[in-house]
Amino acid sequence: MSALYTESVASLRRKLAAKEITAVDVADQLLARIEQADGKLNAYNFKPDAAKVRAAAQAADLSKPLGGVPIAIKDVINVQGDPCTCSSKILQGYTAPYDATVIKKLREAGAVLVGRTNMDEFAMGSSTENSSWGVTRNPWDTDRIPGGSSGGSAAVVGGHEAFAALGSDTGGSIRQPAALCGCVGLKPTYGRVSRYGLVAFASSLDQIGPFTKTVEDAALLMEVISGHDPKDNTSVNRPVPKYTDALKQDLRGMKLGVPKEYFISGIDPEVEAATKAAIEHFAKQGAEIVDISLPHTEYACAVYYIIAPAEASANLARFEGVRYGNRVKNPKDILDLYRSTREQGFGPEVKRRIILGTYVLSSGYYDAYYNRAQKVRQLIKRDFEQAFTKCDAILTPTSPTAAFKVGEKTSDPLQMYLADIFTIAVNLAGVCGISIPCGFTKSKLPIGLQIIGAQWGEENVLRAAHGYEQTTEWHKEVPQI
Residue 282 is part of a domain; what is its CATH number? 3.90.1300.10
Which of 342, 371, 400 is the last residue in one of the domains? 371
Max intra-chain CA distance, the chain: 70
Q: Is 346 in the same domain as 399?
A: no
Q: Is 393 in the same domain as 366?
A: no
**Does residue 266 lie in a domain region?**
no
- The CA-CA-CA angle for residues 39, 42, 44, to 5°, reads 110
Q: Is 224 in the same domain as 367?
A: no
> Which pLDDT band, with edges at 50, 70 and 90, does 325 fall under?
confident
Within its chain, how far is the Cα of 131 from the centroid?
16
pLDDT for 3: 86
pLDDT for 266: 83
pLDDT at 198 over 60: yes
Task: In whole angstroms, give the CA distance from residue 26 to residue 420.
Answer: 35
Q: What is the pLDDT of residues 35-52, one digit of tens each?
A: 999 999 999 999 899 999
Q: Is 85 in the same domain as 18?
A: yes
Q: Is residue 428 a contact partner of residue 311, using CB atoms and an 8 Å limit?
A: no
Is residue 65 exposed (0-12), middle (13-18) or buried (19+ Cβ within 10 Å)?
middle
In a 13 Å sphere around the CA of 82, the CA atoms on its Cβ side amount to: 26
pLDDT at 352 over 90: yes
Q: Is 363 in the same domain as 393?
A: no
Catalytic site residue 173?
yes
- Report CA torsion sign: 59, 63, 68, 74: negative
Number of C-beta neighbours around residue 411 at 10 A: 8
Give the chain's mean pLDDT.
Answer: 96
- Count of domains observed in the chain: 2
Q: Is residue 145 a contact partner of residue 362, using CB atoms and an 8 Å limit?
A: no
DSSP bridge pairs for 185: 211, 435
pLDDT for 462: 98
Q: Is 107 in the same domain as 205?
A: yes
Q: Is 12 in the same domain as 74?
A: yes
**Does residue 394 lie in a domain region?**
yes
Q: Is 396 in the same domain as 257?
A: yes
> Which pLDDT band, with edges at 50, 70 and 90, does 2 fall under?
low
Phi, then psi, of 8 in degrees rounded to 5: -85, 170
Task: In whole angstroms, give the CA distance from residue 400 to residue 269.
Answer: 9
Indicate the range of 77-86, 373-382, 413-422, 437-446 predicted with least confidence: 413-422
> Which pLDDT band, with edges at 50, 70 and 90, does 265 fall under?
confident
Q: Is residue 27 a contact partner of residue 53, using CB atoms and an 8 Å limit?
A: yes
Region at 202 (left for phi over 0; alpha for psi -120 to 50; beta for the rest): beta
Q: Is 347 in the same domain as 439?
A: no
Q: What is the pLDDT of residues 399-419, one digit of tens each?
A: 999 999 999 999 888 889 989
Q: Is 355 in the same domain as 449?
A: no
Nearest C-alpha neighbor of 354 from the set 197, 168, 122: 122
H-type alpha helices, 133-236: 151-158, 175-181, 215-225
Q: What is the pLDDT of residues 107-136, one digit of tens each?
A: 999 999 999 999 999 999 999 999 999 999
Quickly count helices (H) and strands (E) in the chain. Answer: 15, 11
Owning domain of residue 463: 4-261+272-292+382-476
Region at 280 (left for phi over 0; alpha for psi -120 to 50; beta for the rest): alpha
Which of 338, 371, 404 is the last residue in one of the domains? 371
**Does residue 153 lie in a domain region?**
yes
Q: Is residue 74 a contact partner of residue 82, using CB atoms and an 8 Å limit?
A: no
Region at 192 (left for phi over 0; alpha for psi -120 to 50; beta for the rest): alpha
Q: What is the pLDDT of residues 443-459, one digit of tens each?
A: 999 999 999 999 999 99
Catalytic site residue 362?
no
Q: Is 253 in the same domain as 309?
A: no
pLDDT at 99 over 90: yes
Nearest C-alpha neighbor of 424 from the set 170, 193, 187, 125: 170
DSSP bridge pairs for 184: 212
Indicate the range of 152-161, 326-335, 447-456 predicted with least confidence: 326-335
Q: What one-character DSSP code corresponds to residue 444?
A: S
Task: In whole angstroms, give the CA distance from residue 177 to residue 180.
Answer: 5
In a 13 Å sphere around the CA of 187, the CA atoms on its Cβ side amount to: 36
Q: What is the mean pLDDT of residues 55-71?
A: 97
Nearest C-alpha neighbor of 156 from the set 44, 15, 284, 70: 44
Q: Catalytic residue among 8, 87, 132, 149, which?
A: 149
pLDDT for 292: 98
Which of 345, 371, 397 is the last residue in one of the domains? 371
Task: In whole angstroms, give the CA distance from residue 51 to residue 438.
Answer: 38
pLDDT for 264: 82
Within its chain, how far is the Cα of 191 from the centroid?
16
Is residue 77 helix, strand or coil?
strand
Task: In whole angstroms, give the CA distance from residue 16 to residue 21.
Answer: 5
Write b or e for each residue in 233-244: b if 16 or more Cβ atoms lie within 10 A of its Cβ, otherwise e. eebeeeeebebb
CA dihedral 206, 207, 212, 218 (to 10 degrees): -160
Q: What is the mean pLDDT of residues 4-33?
A: 96
Q: Catalytic residue among 87, 127, 173, 194, which?
A: 173
Catalytic site residue 52?
no
Q: Is 224 in the same domain as 342?
A: no
Q: What is the mean pLDDT of residues 354-372?
A: 94
